[in-house]
Chains A and B, each alone.
Chain A
Amino acid sequence: MFVATAEERMIPGRRPELEAAHRDAAGALGGEPGFLGARLLHFAGGPYRYAYEMSWASREEWERFWESERFARLREPIDAQLAEPFTLTLYNVPVADAAVGG
């Protein structure tokens, strides 16, 4: 398993728009080969920071999506709500089907 996380800082006041854009993105991601799931996290220590975490079956499948036009289309409505470019961080999940305590 492979996880890609986008750290995002929104434009103040855009919370409804940003969260709606992520809901739409989650729907579009559903048909991507290798896509396992995504969730939007809101920073507990302040109003403007989010992390969008996407799980993929493999790095290769993530990279195919990342390099496609579909990724740019997916990001466009999200990025319009951000105060600065997002930071993408990639993680290998070292244990198959890893879960806390699993």
Chain B
Amino acid sequence: MPDASASGALFTVQGVSRVLREADEVARHERAYDELLRRDDCPGMYWNLYLKGVEEPDATIHAQIWASQRHSEEFGVSPGFQALRGELSTASGPRAHMVGPLSPGYWRPVLEEVVRAEPTGCAADGDDLGVALHGMSFVRPGSERAYLEAEGALAAALRTPAAGDGVYATRCFQSLGQPSAFTWVRHARDGAALDSTLAALAGPERARAELVAEETVGRYRVWLLSTWPGRRPA
């Protein structure tokens, strides 16, 4: 099982928000942000994900993985990003409000299991990027290692025939400021594939859930996913 943390101090930023503007306007901004990341002068960025709520369409999750916190911070003060930020701030009122105490939050990727190649692109282009089950889990302090092992067991089970062929990947991240907090994303082809896989993995999922003190889980459609594997540190 690949362990992302072994490849260096990878860094994730995640924001969970409720969008306060028209969906089309927000979508334009999100695509402009992604375009900025595509430029050659954006080293260290290799995974950019937007999720939109299935039950609550105004619920948005934006998660990124960077080669390091330094790369992320340098992007944050770069002229391109500052110009984009300035453009957004000229519109009236905030674009979204963040939800939860760890949003926006800094996270450390601790597990990444890609079972089959994930589709990338943007749903606005007609790309079918699948669905995601997203969770934020607070475990009892002291059981962090056990939780990681449970996530690992679940990831390993995804590679068994029982899991079917509908799940693309699962990723898990640990808060850099609150070590008993984890967030995770399980990416599947569609809702039916996700449901059948989760049913097949009921055992490892139960073992994971038993370690959780508090949890928020939601189902999302993958609205945008961009990856730049060549920028990932060796």
Q: Is the CB of B104 within 8 A of A48?
A: yes
A38-46, A55-63, A66-74 - the one binding chain B: A38-46
Chain B min CB distance to A101 (Å): 21
Decide if the interface of chain A is mainly helix, strand, loop or mixed. loop
Chain B min CB distance to A43 (Å): 5
Interface status of A37 (Cβ within 8 A of chain B)? no
Interface status of A47 (Cβ within 8 A of chain B)? yes
With a cutoff of 8 Å between Cβ atoms, the chain A residues found around residue B85 in the complex are 13
Residue of A nearest to B94 (CB): A12
With a cutoff of 8 Å between Cβ atoms, the chain B residues found around residue A49 in the complex are 177
Report how far A43 CA is from B103 CA in the complex, Å.
Answer: 12
Chain B min CB distance to A98 (Å): 22
Report how far A45 CA is from B173 CA in the complex, Å.
Answer: 12
Q: Besides the contacts A43-B177, A45-B178, A45-B181, what 13 more A-B pairs have beta carbons closer than 8 Å? A: A13-B85, A44-B106, A45-B105, A45-B106, A45-B107, A45-B175, A45-B177, A46-B102, A46-B103, A46-B106, A47-B104, A47-B106, A49-B177
Query: B residues near A, CB below 8 A?
Result: 85, 102-107, 175-178, 181
Report how far A43 CA is from B177 CA in the complex, Å.
Answer: 6
The 12 listed contacts between A and B (C-beta, < 8 Å) are A44-B176, A44-B177, A45-B102, A45-B105, A45-B175, A45-B177, A45-B178, A45-B181, A46-B103, A46-B105, A46-B106, A48-B104
Shortest Cβ-Cβ A-B pairs, 10 listed: A45-B177, A44-B177, A46-B105, A45-B175, A44-B176, A45-B176, A43-B177, A45-B106, A45-B178, A46-B106
Residue of A nearest to B69 (CB): A44
Chain A min CB distance to B175 (Å): 5
Most buried by B among A13, A43, A45: A45
Indicate with 1 or 0, residue by residue over A6-21, a CB within 8 angstroms of chain B CB atoms.
0000000100000000
